[in-house]
């Protein structure tokens, strides 16, 4: 980069949810953006909305696909300044005692190993940048225990260790690495989480919603644009001395459930 107006950004899982807000925030700020996602239709829709964005279909759990995707991103943008490791799946709602081991592994493959694979492929490109940075999407579940969501919480805590380690490894190359820990973000996924909780607790959806808000100082769920604004800030020169940090955006939530 270049701190001018041509940051080159790769966002994983950029076609929907929080990732899409991040993609649009960078694109509106004049950055070049490459989005990858497992959902080809959603990527088509994203390009229809913002034709300057380049895309790759990629499951971050597929190592060969990740190699291809990162190369496509760097080729199409002429390099890479910012990697946003946003891809992550929620996984099942079940106690550890009842957890399906295959479902456990599926969450680790996407959330942890997928993030590792994308980052490893991106590092050589980020080292070429004048101001490289990486943002890792952890979660409120990465700072509290989270009953009935063990694979998710385990991976989101794991990503904190990954972030702090990477920050130490990459600082000497001028690459900063920070983690964002979103709380309950408004959208389809949050509704699914409430449905999952309700199916375990026997409470209604409305009861699950008010229980979630009772847990926060700020009495509204997080807007995906709030997360995107922080990502844009962390990737900017204004954050040039910030690395190895874990920043919650969760309305001051007091637990993960």
Q: Beta partners for 9?
A: 33, 82
**Contact (Cβ atoms closer than 8 angstroms) between residue 57 and residue 43:** yes
CA 175/CA 132 separation, integer angstroms: 5
Could you say whether residue 132 binds ligand NAD (CB under 6 A)? no
Per the annotation, the verdict on 152 as an active-site residue is yes
**Contact (Cβ atoms closer than 8 angstroms) between residue 182 and residue 250:** yes
- What's the closest the beta carbon of residue 87 comes to ligand NAD, in angstroms? 4
Q: Which of residues 94-123 bind ligand NAD (CB under 6 A)?
A: 110
- What's the closest the beta carbon of residue 190 comes to ligand NAD, in angstroms? 5
- Which among 116, 152, 157, 221 is annotated as catalytic? 152
Q: How many residues bind ligand NAD (CB under 6 A)?
A: 29
Could you say whether residue 178 binds ligand NAD (CB under 6 A)? no
**Other CB atoms within 10 A of residue 127 CB:** 13
CA-closest candidate to residue 255, choices 108, 179, 147: 147
Q: Which of residues 179-198 bind ligand NAD (CB under 6 A)?
A: 182, 184-185, 187, 189-190
Sheet with 32-37, edge to edge strand ranges = 54-57, 32-37, 8-12, 82-85, 133-137, 176-182, 246-249
Quote the distance between the C-alpha of residue 27 and its chain's center: 17
Scanning 98-106, 127-135, 136-144, 199-207 for contacts with ligand NAD by CB under 6 A, the matching segment is: 136-144
Q: Which of 24, 25, 37, 253 binds ligand NAD (CB under 6 A)?
A: 37
Pick between residue 47 and residue 189 the one whose CB is nearest to ligand NAD. 189
Backbone phi and psi for residue 158, each to the nearest 5 degrees, phi listed first? -60, -35
Scanning 11-19, 99-107, 119-127, 230-238 for contacts with ligand NAD by CB under 6 A, the matching segment is: 11-19
Residues that bind ligand NAD (CB under 6 A): 12-13, 15-19, 37-39, 42, 58-61, 86-89, 110, 137, 139-140, 182, 184-185, 187, 189-190
């Amino acid at each position: 980069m270049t701190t001018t107006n041509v940051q080159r950004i790769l966002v994983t899982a950029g076609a929907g949810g929080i990732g899409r807000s991040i993609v649009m925030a960078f694109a509106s700020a004049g950055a070049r953006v490459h989005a990858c996602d497992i959902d080809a239709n959603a990527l088509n829709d994203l390009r229809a909305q913002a034709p300057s964005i380049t895309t790759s279909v990629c499951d971050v759990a597929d190592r060969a696909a990740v190699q291809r995707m990162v190369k496509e991103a760097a080729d199409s943008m002429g390099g890479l300044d910012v990697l946003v490791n946003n891809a992550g799946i929620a996984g099942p709602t079940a106690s550890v005692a009842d957890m399906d081991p295959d479902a456990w592994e599926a969450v680790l493959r996407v959330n942890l190993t997928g993030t590792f694979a994308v980052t490893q492929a991106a590092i050589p490109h980020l080292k070429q940048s004048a101001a490289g940075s990486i943002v890792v999407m952890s979660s409120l579940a990465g700072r509290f225990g989270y009953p009935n969501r063990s694979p998710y919480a385990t991976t989101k805590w794991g990503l904190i260790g990954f972030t702090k380690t990477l920050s130490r490894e990459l600082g000497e190359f001028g690459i900063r690495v920070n983690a964002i820990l979103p709380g309950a973000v408004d959208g389809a996924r949050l509704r699914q989480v409430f449905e999952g909780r309700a199916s375990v607790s026997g409470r209604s959806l409305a009861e699950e919603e008010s229980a979630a808000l009772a847990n926060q100082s700020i009495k509204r769920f997080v807007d995906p644009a709030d997360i995107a604004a922080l990502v844009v800030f962390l990737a900017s020169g204004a954050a040039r001395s910030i690395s190895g940090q874990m920043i919650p955006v969760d309305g001051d939530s007091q637990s993960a459930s």
